[in-house]
Amino acid sequence: MALVQFSLFFLFFLIVFNISHGLLHREHELIPGKTMSCCQYDPYKSQRNFPVIYCYKGSPKSLVKIWESAVLQMNISQDKYELYKGKTAREVLEEFESLRSYWSLNFLNWKSKDFKINPFNSTCFGIRTNEDYLITLNVIHLDYWRLIICVIGILIFYLAKELSGNSFFYYVGGISVGIFASFLVLVYIFSKMLPMQKPLILGVMITGWSLGIYLLQIVWGNLRMVAEMYPEFLMGYFAISGVSSFLVCYWKGPVTNPRSKNIIQWTIQGIGLALIFCSSNNQEAALSLDILLLIVYLTPISWVKRVLYYVWCQLI
């Protein structure tokens, strides 16, 4: 009898715990185009120590939606909020619990108010704040920027052979690589200025991407501060890097070795295929487009003419 009473009490405790846990961690379904508010008329407004979770189930993939994108927009008066992201509500809660257990710092989360998500995958966000806010999910059925990136990737892929032997592209590419390398040197220098580097590295290992993003924000903030306070020195630094890169390219001269040109061509074509793949959230469709592009490129023109001639004869 005592065992039965204990079992009933334990079952009652689990039910109450799950109900209270569900109330504290409220979950809402995001509907494209619908604005949701929190938490002016929420009966649990006082329970803001826990995140409010918003989930989007995602839409089915299709070729028509190859350049579709989705943006979650948040309208809040101040940046005093914490954002947690995951594929499911459970992952959001696990991230919230892990960060709350190891860190009590608010800078471990994104501070942007626009969040791009994959419209085809299930995505959940947890928002914890003491401020009232509005949140809207906007689905863009044809993202022109993604379409432009795809077109640029196709052009780069087909023009790679001409670009690999073009002197102007050689100098522009060399100068760009030199300036980018000098920018990486600046990032490395500012990263060395971060205090307590070993504890921060340990924190990155524990919390993953959250603290890493915070470190990047610090480095980027320092670079912006330098750009605002000393713009002439920064421009001079990049100008010297560009001139030095040009002199090195001029000293080496354009590439004349056929094998070197082939390597440059393949590299440019790889960049073009990567742009095509990254231009779509529908990775299967983007990969299929890359494969189709390779097949068309590698197929001899004589074969294409024969196929077209055969199709034309069948139609006649």
Instruction: Look at residue 13 and tell me if it is in a domain.
Output: no
Residues 213 and 125 in one domain: no
Residues 99 and 68 in one domain: yes
What CATH number should be reported for the domain holding residue 48?
A: 2.60.120
Those residues whose C-beta lies under 8 Å from the C-beta of residue 258, and which sit 6 or more positions away, are: none
Residues 47 and 106 in one domain: yes
pLDDT digits (tens, 9 = 90+) for 14-27: 444 344 444 445 67
Residue with the two structure tokens 């209270």: 20
Please tell me whether the peptide bond between 150 and the residue prior to it is cis, using omega within 30 degrees of 0.
Answer: no
Q: pTM for the complete prediction? A: 0.68
Q: Distance (Å, rounded) from C-alpha 14 to C-alpha 127?
A: 26
Q: Distance (Å, rounded) from C-alpha 279 to C-alpha 151?
A: 9
Residues 257 and 155 in one domain: yes
Q: Domains in the chain: how many in total?
A: 3
Pick the residue with more confidence: 240 or 203? 240
Q: How would residue 216 be classed by pLDDT, with cut points 50, 70 and 90?
A: low
Q: Is 179 exposed, middle or buried (0-12, 13-18, 19+ CB in 10 A)?
A: middle
pLDDT digits (tens, 9 = 90+) for 150-189: 999 999 999 998 888 888 888 888 888 888 888 778 777 7
Residues 244 and 306 in one domain: no
